[in-house]
């Protein structure tokens, strides 16, 4: 196939030619030059880095049977009913528009009604369907790229469920999966009705997003006049539900078009696994083990929502000490040190402690091994945020 030259510099065409040659063993009809350019753009036109990213992704696709997931995998009923998302229509260039009512994602309920693997597979299936539609639209409109548009509605969003660490970890894992395996498919992302606390949540996930993704994201507060205009600049009214400024309704007159866009919602307890353990015995809350490499540090972020919450920790290392400290960042982005970073002889005895916290804020627990140029440190740790005695996190009420 002749190289794609439109819009490419000489260096970029050379990088494409080199990548095409290096991955000639992966040739398939759907892996054309535009497909290869996705990986090159994601790696700043470094053909070696793009090749590594592509091969790693293809291994991931094989491990998760991604090529068969649309035809062979049937999601559990709870995910079919309560996983919020749906394609409402197409933008002016023909790209499919997916709407995600994020507040409808009952992360606690889903992770106690479906396995983590099935939760991941449901996300993969959603992305693969979206990409399939984008490919069909590309051919229909003779477009250059297969791209998608996302509208993420944060109306009614609460950060509270994501103070439960497995929930936050699940979201970050999905972001990392998307960035590693679906580069350059995003045409535009509109995050609308973002509450003030959203800036705190976004500051946590932002480091996991690549620059090329961040450039496509536009964030709007609860100002319908502004975000509706932005949507209508790129999406015709008849391709957009009335709720988002368009003219589309369901046959029954539903202005949010919930027949097309599943709203999610609270998962009924009847879907829960037969035995939902107490926090202390729940496998989600087991201690973790990692290696902090020499000259490196481990930073763990925790959301604190209420005054009087307690950040509790216990950790130990093998063979040698490590530095430990805690930082606090408030909604305005101001950062202070609550526990100065200092060396702890946790290789001699486990270190335990607690810290009264105020929120909303992000507390970052730091294990610092930058002072060690010779030794990596194996670390065992268990850290969690406990709400105040008179305060109950949403997940705590689900026994």
The mean pLDDT value for 105-120 works out to: 91
CATH number of the domain bearing residue 19: 1.10.8
Q: Note whether 149 and 182 are same-domain residues.
A: yes
Question: Does residue 145 belong to any structural domain of this protein?
Answer: yes
* 317: containing domain: 286-370
The predicted pLDDT at position 136 comes to: 94
Q: Note whether 86 and 46 are same-domain residues.
A: no
For the stretch 146-159, pLDDT in tens is 999 999 999 999 88
Question: Does residue 110 belong to any structural domain of this protein?
Answer: yes
Q: Is the pLDDT of residue 368 over 90?
A: yes
CB atoms within 10 A of CB 168: 20
Q: Note whether 241 and 292 are same-domain residues.
A: no
Q: Note whether 102 and 38 are same-domain residues.
A: no
The mean pLDDT value for 160-165 works out to: 78
CATH number of the domain bearing residue 364: 2.60.120.680
The predicted pLDDT at position 159 comes to: 82
For the stretch 239-269, pLDDT in tens is 999 999 999 999 989 999 999 999 999 999 9
Which residue has better confidence, 3 or 375?
375
CA angle (10 as vertex; 6, 16 as ends), nearest 5:
70
What domain count does the chain have?
Answer: 3
Q: Note whether 211 and 330 are same-domain residues.
A: no
8 Å CB contact between 209 and 237: no
Q: Is the pLDDT of residue 316 over 80?
A: yes
Q: Note whether 147 and 164 are same-domain residues.
A: yes
The predicted pLDDT at position 207 comes to: 87
The mean pLDDT value for 109-123 works out to: 91
Q: Note whether 228 and 333 are same-domain residues.
A: no
Q: Is the pLDDT of residue 5 over 50?
A: no
Question: Does residue 203 belong to any structural domain of this protein?
Answer: yes
Question: Does residue 300 belong to any structural domain of this protein?
Answer: yes
Please report which confidence band the pLDDT of residue 197 belongs to, taking 50, 70 and 90 as the band edges.
Answer: confident
Question: Does residue 385 belong to any structural domain of this protein?
Answer: no
CB neighbours of 90 closer than 8 A, spacing ≥ 6? 96, 97, 137, 235, 239
Q: Note whether 107 and 56 are same-domain residues.
A: no
Q: Note whether 119 and 189 are same-domain residues.
A: yes
Chosen domain end from 219, 248, 271? 271
Please report which confidence band the pLDDT of residue 177 belongs to, taking 50, 70 and 90 as the band edges.
Answer: very high
Q: Note whether 28 and 148 are same-domain residues.
A: no
Q: Is the pLDDT of residue 73 over 90?
A: yes
């Amino acid at each position: 196939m002749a190289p794609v030259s439109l819009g490419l510099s000489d260096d970029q065409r050379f990088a494409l030619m080199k990548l095409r040659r290096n991955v000639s063993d992966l040739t398939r009809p759907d892996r054309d030059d535009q497909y290869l350019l996705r990986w090159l753009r994601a790696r700043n036109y470094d053909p070696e880095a793009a090749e590594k990213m592509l091969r790693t992704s293809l291994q991931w696709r094989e491990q998760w049977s991604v090529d068969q997931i649309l035809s062979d995998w049937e999601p559990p009923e709870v995910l079919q009913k309560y996983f919020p998302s749906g394609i409402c229509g197409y933008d002016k260039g023909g790209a499919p528009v997916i709407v995600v009512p994020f507040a409808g994602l009952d992360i606690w309920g889903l992770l106690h009604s479906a396995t983590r693997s099935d939760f991941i597979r449901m996300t993969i299936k959603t992305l693969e369907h979206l990409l399939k539609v984008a490919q069909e639209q590309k051919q229909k409109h003779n477009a250059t790229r297969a791209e998608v548009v996302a509208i993420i509605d944060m109306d009614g969003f609460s950060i509270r469920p994501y103070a439960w660490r497995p929930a936050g970890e699940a979201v970050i894992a999905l972001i990392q999966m998307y960035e590693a395996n679906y580069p350059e498919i995003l045409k535009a992302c509109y995050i609308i009705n973002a509450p003030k606390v959203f800036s705190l949540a976004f500051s946590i996930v932002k480091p996991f997003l690549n620059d090329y993704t961040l450039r496509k994201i536009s964030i709007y507060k609860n100002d319908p006049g502004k975000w509706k205009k932005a949507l209508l600049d790129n999406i015709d009214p008849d391709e957009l539900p009335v709720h988002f400024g368009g003219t589309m309704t369901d046959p029954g007159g539903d202005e949010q078009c919930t027949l097309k866009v599943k709203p999610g919602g609270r998962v009924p307890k009847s879907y829960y696994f037969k035995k939902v353990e107490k926090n202390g015995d729940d496998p989600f809350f087991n201690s973790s083990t990692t290696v902090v490499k020499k000259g490196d540090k481990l930073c763990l972020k925790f959301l604190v929502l209420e005054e009087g919450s307690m950040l509790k920790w216990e950790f130990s290392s093998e063979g040698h000490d490590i530095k430990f400290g805690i930082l606090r960042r408030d909604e305005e982005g101001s950062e202070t040190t609550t526990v100065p970073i200092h060396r702890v002889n946790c290789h001699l005895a486990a270190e335990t402690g607690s810290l009264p916290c105020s929120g909303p804020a992000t507390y970052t627990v730091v294990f610092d091994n930058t002072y060690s140029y010779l030794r990596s440190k194996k670390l065992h740790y268990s850290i969690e945020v406990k709400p105040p005695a008179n305060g109950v996190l949403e997940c705590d009420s689900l026994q």
